Amino acid sequence: MAQAYSNPSSSRTSDDIELPRHDGPFEPRALQDEEQIDPWEEGLGTFDVFALIVNKMIGTGIYTAPTTVYLMTGSKSLTLGLFGVGFLYCLMSTAIYLQYAAVLPYNGGELIYLDEITAHVTPTSTDASVISVPQEHNEGINGNLERQATNSRDSTASRITNTASYGLWARFVQWRRKLMGDGLLAFIIYSLIFIVFFNSATNSMQFGRMVLLCINADQGVDNAVVDVNNDLMRYIGVTILTIICLTQFFSPSFGRRLNKFLAVVKIGFLLGLFIVGLTALSRDIKDGKGHDTTQSSDWSKWNERKVVSKVSFAKALLIVLFSFEGWENATFVAGEIPRRKHKILRRGFIWAVVTVGSLYLLVVGVTLNSLQWGDFPDQRNINYAPLLTGNKTSARRAWPIIIAISSFGSLNAIIYTFSRVKQVIGQAEVLPWSRYLKQDDCLNRTERIKENDFHYKSPQGGLIAHWSSSVILIAASASIKSTIESAGLPGYIQTYTHCFILMVMALGYLNLRSRQEALQRQGDTKGTQTSWGRLYEAVMIVTIPFYILLNIAILIINAIPDYVSSDGTPHVFPGYGFPVIVASVVVIGTAYYVLFFGAAYRYYEPLPATESDEEIPQSRMYEGILKPESRLNLMKHAGVRCEIHKDYFYKKVERMYRFGRRWRMQYSIRGVDAEYPGEPQIDQTRTTFAMFLYWVFGGTRLKEDRTPWVRLKERTERLFSW
């Protein structure tokens, strides 16, 4: 229940009302001043994009996943095949996201894409729930909301009665559109998923695990790999997470420079692992009976596993997809790429995905060809890289250092992008206490200029939120005794929820072209397709259904027992927990949207009724799924009314080109703000229950001396004044 704010990212439109100061319990509403700003011409370059994706993709996954998948499936051919599917999945996702980024080149990535593809209102759209008001009467529209809404419902009922073609399907479409809120429902659900589950917990714990493997390298293979101190692993993980967050807080530019340096280093590490695998091909191979054999002898063999599950390949594919996660990383900060230079994102995107994916397949191929089933005693998931170099103490110490550096680079890239998306969520002011989530840092830097001031600032609120969610999941993973399974669990949850999001994104892709046309002003030729573009579009339309089915298969099969852990132990997170998590977030997000924003009115900018300049511009208002007087409208109990002001097109204002939002929230307090003159005056002498609710959900206008916390403190001091 955050309020309109006044800072470089705030906005002002013609329907804002300047309120005089008053002596009541609430501060006057801040003016919303939205300044026209030309997009900057400096920002991330092709190599920045390349480095962001490389650093996110190359973490610890490629150094652990090949043997993990091999032990889960028992087949080298299936293992390599799953990595091939992962690469193909990555390429298809890249093709889809590049199209989204071309249409919506803003910070937030999937957050903005989901918002737009679930929107439906256009300047020419018609809806039975819309109210059109002449511009000359627009200033007084807020004072007559109930009357206008009642008239709208009456006229709607009349249209339904008198129109034979208005059937059950049309009513369902109208109800669905009200529920979606022109994109707001999807925005809220994704925001909850991203804040909670998109974090750095797995990479942080893997960093801690590799540090301990290096320290314990002289204790033998089994002890060094499996029996590390789990509590110490988590402590090291939280420590490195904190260090990187603080570094990016004080110097975002250092984070970008470090990102480019580590991308080169990590590519070098992968090339080194590939070369080591090639040299290991020359060693003598013996079968289980001690007889000489060849590397290719067991590629068609299905080895017997301790824990047998017919659907183990689904969990294995989830692990593979996690090792490929990161191809979408640059789209989260697409707003930092210079305007009208989509080729920067496209080149960096394609080069990074093709380079990393190709190296992955080469590494997996030579690794599987160099190792045998007998190299894994008791089918325990051990660190395979030292096996390629003799498995001596020096090898068991050197490779964990390399993997830890790789994990460090992933942490740096993830924190840079994820924290900025969480700041974008805070800027929307749809979640409680958003004023903290949306904050930039308050440090003074001489290098910044007005046009790209934020490029040199750190997303303070986003960094705090990212650190907090990561630490919480690191602590929660302690409930699983298996070291490898507990360290990988946050990553598996993130990958599973991401598959759900990708399924929705693929479905929405079918609506992307129409949304692009709806967002284009008259005469704008941007987005006009060439012959190659039409061919590309046709190929995408054909492949999208297979992509959707693959995601659905991943979502369903992972929930089917028997469940297999990633290290062969009986300690495993039950597969049904993944869909339960996704379903819970969707239900909670939907309930939150309906209860808090279900009664909100949506206003759209005035546009001429026809092309004739003589016509009076019309301002349009849409009702929500609830009536303002409904008991389910929780904002009513806090004495707050919410309005959503939305533009039809993207403009040169920071709210849009930095955060990608065509809409802004405006919260008004009953009995205080001028647009509700008929409301009874609020109690000026005490803190009411409505004020308490307003404060609990993050309202910003309640004066400091009227907050429940201050009142409780005053009463406590009076009680113990003796």
- The confidence band for 701, taking pLDDT boundaries of 50, 70 and 90, is confident
Mean pLDDT of all residues in 687-701: 80
Beta 130-134 vs 285-286: how paired, if at all?
unpaired
Tally of domains in the chain:
2
When pLDDT is cut at 50, 70 and 90, the band that residue 567 belongs to is low
What is the model's pLDDT at position 681?
59
Nearest to 314 by CA among 512, 90, 578: 578
Which two structure tokens, joined as six digits, stand for 542?
Answer: 């054909």
**Residue 432 and residue 285 in one domain:** yes
Q: Choose between 440 and 657: higher pLDDT.
A: 440
**13 within domain boundaries:** no
Alpha helices, H only, 558-576: none
Torsion from C-alpha of 649, 653, 657, 660, nearest 10 degrees: -60
Q: Which uninterrupted H or E stretch holds 64? A: helix 61-73
For 44-85, the pLDDT digits (tens) are 888 989 998 999 899 888 998 898 888 888 888 999 999 999
User: Are 547 and 606 members of one domain?
Assistant: no
List pLDDT tens digits, range 145-168. Answer: 444 544 544 444 444 444 444 578
Task: Give the residue carrying structure tokens 């993830």.
Answer: 414
Residue 244 binned pLDDT confidence (cut-offs 50, 70, 90): very high
Helix, strand, coil percentages in the chain from 3-state DSSP, rounded to 5? 60, 5, 35
Q: CA 638 to CA 618: how far, in whole Å?
A: 32
Question: Phi/psi at 25 (nearest 5 deg)?
Answer: -75, -10
pLDDT band at residue 216, thresholds of 50, 70 and 90? confident
> How much is the pLDDT for 521?
67
Whether residue 397 is found in the same domain as residue 452? yes
Is residue 686 a contact partner of residue 20, using CB atoms and an 8 Å limit? no
Cβ pair 671, 681 in contact under 8 A:
yes
Closest CA to 455 of 43, 151, 75: 43
Q: Work out the angle between the directed axes of helices 577-597 and 531-557 (0-180°, nearest 10).
A: 110
Residue 677 has pLDDT above 70, yes or no: no
The values of phi and psi at residue 22, to 5°, are: -140, 170
The answer on 633 and 710 residing in a single domain is: yes
Residues of the domain holding 555: 46-118+186-589
Residue, of 334 and 549, whose pLDDT is higher: 549
Of 589, 621, 656, the one marking the end of a domain is 589
Which of 666, 619, 674, 620 is CA-nearest to residue 642? 666
- The CA radius of gyration of the chain, in Å to the nearest whole number, is 28
Residue 620 is inside which H or E element, if any? strand 618-622
Domain at 210, CATH number: 1.20.1740.10
For residue 287, which amino acid is it? D
Question: What's the rounded Cα separation, in Å, for the pair 234 and 359?
Answer: 30
Under 8 Å between Cβ of 150 and 230: no
Place of tokens 């997170």: 573
Distance CA 114, CA 95 (A): 17
Average pLDDT over residues 584-613: 82
Q: Rounded mean pLDDT of 635-646?
A: 87
Contact 431, 19 (CB under 8 A): no
Q: Quick check: is 634 in a domain?
A: yes
Quick one: pLDDT at residue 255? Answer: 85
Task: Reply yes or no: is the peptide bond before residue 48 cis, omega within 30 of 0.
Answer: no
| 36 has pLDDT over 90 | no
In the predicted structure, residue 120 carries a pLDDT above the cut 50 = yes
pLDDT for position 161? 42
- Residue 154: both structure tokens together: 């009456």
Together in a domain, 523 and 641: no
Of 465-469, 524-528, 705-709, least confident by mean pLDDT is: 524-528
pLDDT tens digits for 352-369? Answer: 999 999 999 999 999 998
- Asked whether residue 547 is domain-assigned, the answer is yes
Could you tell me if 455 and 485 lie in one domain? yes
Q: How many residues make up the chain in this entry? A: 722
pLDDT at 721: 67
Q: Is the separation of the CB atoms in 564 and 72 below 8 Å? A: yes
Q: Is residue 209 part of a domain?
A: yes
Task: Kindly state whether residues 474 and 394 are assigned to the same domain.
Answer: yes
- Whether residues 549 and 603 fall in one domain: no
- Give the model's confidence band at 10: pLDDT under 50 very low, under 70 low, under 90 confident, else very high: very low
**Can you give the pLDDT at residue 83?**
95
Domain identity same for 567 and 644? no
Q: What is the C-alpha separation between 131 and 148, in angstroms, rounded?
A: 7
In this prediction the pTM is 0.85
- Span 318-334, average pLDDT: 86
Q: What average pLDDT score do residues 623-645 get? A: 88
Q: What is the C-alpha separation between 146 and 153, in angstroms, rounded?
A: 10
pLDDT value for 613: 47
Of 558, 589, 620, at which residue does a domain stop?
Answer: 589
Q: Quote the pLDDT of residue 316.
A: 87
Q: In which region does residue 671 sit, left (phi positive, over 0), alpha (psi from -120 to 50) or beta (all else)? A: left
Question: How sure is the predictor about 384, in pLDDT bands with cuts at 50, 70 and 90?
Answer: confident
Average pLDDT over residues 434-438: 87
What is the arithmetic mean of pLDDT over 214-222?
73
User: Can you give the pLDDT at residue 68?
Assistant: 86
d(CA 124, CA 132): 13
Percent of the chain clearing pLDDT 70 (strictly above): 76
Whether residue 319 contacts residue 572, with contact meaning beta carbons closer than 8 Å, is answered with no
Q: How confident is the model at residue 38 (pLDDT cuts 50, 70, 90)?
A: low
Model confidence at 501, pLDDT cuts 50, 70, 90, reads very high
H-assigned helices in 558-601? 577-597
Query: Per-residue pLDDT for 14 more than 50?
Result: no
Residue 146 lies in a domain: no
Has residue 495 been placed in a domain? yes
Does 555 share its domain with 668?
no
The answer to whether residue 572 sits within a structural domain is: yes
pLDDT at 250 over 60: yes
Using an 8 Å Cβ cutoff, are 599 and 636 in contact?
yes
pLDDT at 175 over 60: yes
Q: What's the mean per-residue pLDDT of the chain?
A: 80
485 shares its domain with 572: yes
Which of residues 589, 618, 633 is at a domain's end?
589
Instruction: Give the pLDDT band (50/70/90) at residue 453.
Output: low
- Could you say which DSSP state residue 628 is in? T
Whether the CB-CB separation of 62 and 270 falls below 8 Å is answered with yes
Provide the pLDDT for residue 208.
94
| Residues contacting residue 364 through CB under 8 Å, at least 6 positions apart | 62, 66, 79, 80, 83
β-pair type (640-646, 601-607): parallel
pLDDT of residue 75: 87
Is 4 among the domain residues? Answer: no
Give residue 458's pLDDT: 83
